[in-house]
Amino acid sequence: MEEYLSEFSEYLKLYKNSSENTIMSYKRDLKNFFSYMKMCGINNIKNVTKTNILAYIYELQKEQRASSTISRNIASLRSFFQYLNKKEILNSNPAMELEAPKVEKKIPEILSTEKVELLLEQPSGNDNKSLRDKAMLELLYATGIRVSELITLKKTDINLSLEYIKCSHNEKERIIPLGKAAIKSIENYINLSRDNMIKNTDEDYLFVNCSGKPMTRQGFWKIIKFYAMKAGITEDITPHMLRHSFAAHLIENGAPLQSVQEMLGHSDISTTQIYTKINKTKLKDIYLKAHPRA
Percentage of the chain beyond pLDDT 90 is: 44
pLDDT in tens, 163-218: 999 988 777 889 999 999 999 999 999 999 999 999 888 899 999 999 998 999 99
Query: Is the Cβ–Cβ distance between 123 and 192 less than 8 Å?
Result: no
The residues that bridge with 167 in the sheet, in sequence order, are 174
Location of each CATH 1.10.443.10 domain in the chain: 113-289
φ, ψ at 171 (rounded to 5°): 65, 10
Buried/exposed 23-55: b ≥16 CB within 10 Å, e otherwise: bebbbebbeebbebbeeeebeebeebeeeebee
| Amino acid 219: pLDDT | 93
Please classify residue 161 by burial: count the beta carbons closer than 10 Å to its beta carbon, then call 0-12 exposed, 13-18 middle and 19+ buried: exposed
- Read off the pLDDT of each residue in 49-74 and give the average, rounded to a whole number: 87
What does the chain look like in DSSP terms, one character per residue?
Answer: -GGGHHHHHHHHHHTS---HHHHHHHHHHHHHHHHHHHHTT---GGG--HHHHHHHHHHHHHTT--HHHHHHHHHHHHHHHHHHHHTTSSSS-TTTT--PPPPPPPPPP---HHHHHHHHHS----SHHHHHHHHHHHHHHHH---HHHHHT-BGGGEETTTTEEEEEETTEEEEEE--HHHHHHHHHHIIIIIHHH-S-TT--BS-B-TTSSBP-HHHHHHHHHHHHHHHT--S---HHHHHHHHHHHHHHTT--HHHHHHHHT-SSHHHHHHHHHHHHHHHHHHHHHH-TT-
pLDDT in tens, 229-255: 999 998 888 888 999 999 999 988 888
| Amino acid 29: pLDDT | 93
The residues that bridge with 169 in the sheet, in sequence order, are 172
Dihedral-angle region of residue 236 (phi above 0 means left; psi in -120 to 50 means alpha; beta otherwise): beta
- Read off the pLDDT of each residue in 277-288 and give the average, rounded to a whole number: 60
φ, ψ at 214 (rounded to 5°): -55, 140
The residues that bridge with 28 in the sheet, in sequence order, are none
- Read off the pLDDT of each residue in 263-284 and give the average, rounded to a whole number: 76
Percentage of the chain beyond pLDDT 70 is: 92
- Does domain 113-289 match CATH 1.10.443.10? yes
| Amino acid 279: pLDDT | 63
- Read off the pLDDT of each residue in 9-13 and give the average, rounded to a whole number: 88
Location of each CATH 1.10.150.130 domain in the chain: 2-86
Q: Alpha-carbon distance 50 to 238, whole Å? A: 39
| Amino acid 290: pLDDT | 57
- Read off the pLDDT of each residue in 129-140 and give the average, rounded to a whole number: 96
pLDDT at 127 over 70: yes
Handedness of CA 276, 103, 28, 16 (dihedral sign): negative
| Amino acid 2: pLDDT | 74
pLDDT at 32 over 80: yes
- Does domain 2-86 match CATH 1.10.10.10? no
Q: Alpha-carbon distance 152 to 194, whole Å? A: 15
| Amino acid 233: pLDDT | 92
pLDDT at 291 over 50: no
